[in-house]
Structures are given as C-alpha cells and as structure tokens.
Amino acid sequence: MRDGDIVGGWIEGQYCPSKVLRITACADGSSTAHVLSYESFPHRPDLSEVVRARIVSWHAPIDLAALERDTQILGHVPVERTELVGYLHYLKLTDFNGYLKETGHSAQDVIQIAQEAYELGNRLSEEKRFDEAIAAYERAIDAFPLFYEAHDNRAMALMDLGRDREAAAGFEESLRVQPDNPVACFSRGECFLKLGEHDSAIAVFRECVRRWPDRPHHHEFLKRALTAVERSRSAPTPRWQFW
C-alpha cells in the first residue's frame, strides 16, 4: 500500500472508500496510514465514482496492518496538496517537526510569525482591547500550537471579558501543551472559583499546593475555595410560605 491508493471495505452494509495520504512509521515498529474518507456507497464503486464522491473526513490515522487486512485497493490517484489540509493540521498539533518538514517551512519563520502575533496580543491586552487581543493570540497559536504562553494569555483575556468557562478550557489546553505550568493550573482554579464550581476549584488548588507548595497564593486560594464550600453548607435552608 502506498500514498495515493484508493481503498475500501464493507461496514454495516455500506461500502466505505478512503484515500491513503501518507504512511508513517511508529516507534513500536508498526506503521500508520493517514487517510481521508469519502461518503459511503450501497455498492462497491469503481474508481471514477470514488474520486467524484464527497469527502466526509479530511484525516484519520489508521493502523496500516488493519487497513491492509480489512480493505481492498480500488485504484491509485496521486495525492493533491489540497487534500492534505486535515493531515497537516494533525501534524501541527502532534508532530511539529514533521509539520515543518512536510510544508517546507522553517522553524525560525514560524516562530517569528507566532512571536509577532503574541506581542501584538500583549499590547492589545494592555490597552484593554481584549477581543482583538484574543484574535492575535489565536494567530500565534495557529502558527505555533506549542506556544503555551499564547494559550495562557488568550485565556487571561477571556477571563477579563468574564468568559470564564472558555478561559478554563483555554488553560486546560495550555496544560496539555505544557503540563508543568503553574500559571495555567492556578488560573484554571480561579475560573472554577468564579463560576461557583467550588469542588473543582478545590481539586485544582490542591494540585497547585502539592506541586508548587512555595507559592503563597496557591494556599490562599485553596482556603478561599474551602471556606466557600463551608459557607454554602452552613447557609440556612429557605423557609417557604404557602398561601
């Protein structure tokens, strides 16, 4: 099997064709086929039908051995650059060096673009133009998804706009990029505290205290969250009057 092969197989009475975009080696010695998928057919289509079919998924990684076992090759059509959009997005998030190699971009150029967008976002945040700052940080992240400081500052701007649920998700994304990030961890707890989700806030602040015990504000905010829970439990139950 090779790049550009059109393959297909029966799944629950429908014939499901895909196109192999790239085949990559894994550390364990296996290989992964990166495929885009077309709409399914009630019959086994010929190659001309498949290439005219609607694309329903731009990328999925599949174990090559399983793909070879479960599908048949219908034909071969060279991979077009426009067909790699999903695969390139996947590479950008999971294998940035592979992304640079595939696209021909230099790391220096990509990082410069990200840094310029990040610095613009910082200036806009200082001017309290938070919506514009968020857009700038998103450009930095799009250029370089591993730029965890841009993730952090985007989430901070969301907090400034009172969009704490989105901010918490942003800090979580930052932690996926850089797990050893006390700013993102603590700020995520702040979001939960502002949302009134005290149990979640307590869990986050306890993690902050465990991992970074020398930071006084971690202890302070853990106490705040615990106090908030105690107050909610000791609040009197409303007495209803019925007429």
Domain ranges of the chain: 5-103, 108-232
Question: In this model, does residue 190 exceed pLDDT 60?
Answer: yes
**Residue 230 pLDDT:** 86
> Maximum Cα–Cα distance for the chain, whole Å?
79
The more confidently predicted of residues 18 and 234 is: 18
Per-residue confidence (pLDDT) for residue 233, from 0 to 100: 73
Q: How confident is the model at residue 36 (pLDDT cuts 50, 70, 90)?
A: very high
Distance, CA of 128 to CA of 140 (rounded, Å): 19
pLDDT at 239: 59
Q: In the numeric block, which tokens belong to residue 20?
A: 């192999």
Q: pTM for the full model?
A: 0.75
Q: Which residues are within 8 A (CB) of 81 and not within 5 positions of it... i.e. 6 or more apart?
A: none
What percent of the chain clears pLDDT 90, i.e. is strictly above it? 88
CATH number of this structure's domain 108-232: 1.25.40.10
* Residue 237 reports pLDDT greater than 80: no
- Find the mean pLDDT for residues 238-243: 54
Q: What is the DSSP string of 93-158?
A: HH-HHHHHHHHT--HHHHHHHHHHHHHHHHHHHHTT-HHHHHHHHHHHHHH-TT-HHHHHHHHHHH
Strands 72-76 and 5-11: antiparallel
Q: What is the pLDDT, as a whole number, of residue 82? A: 94
pLDDT beyond 70 at 238: no
Read off the pLDDT band of 231 (50, 70, 90).
Answer: confident
Residue 159 scores a pLDDT above 60: yes
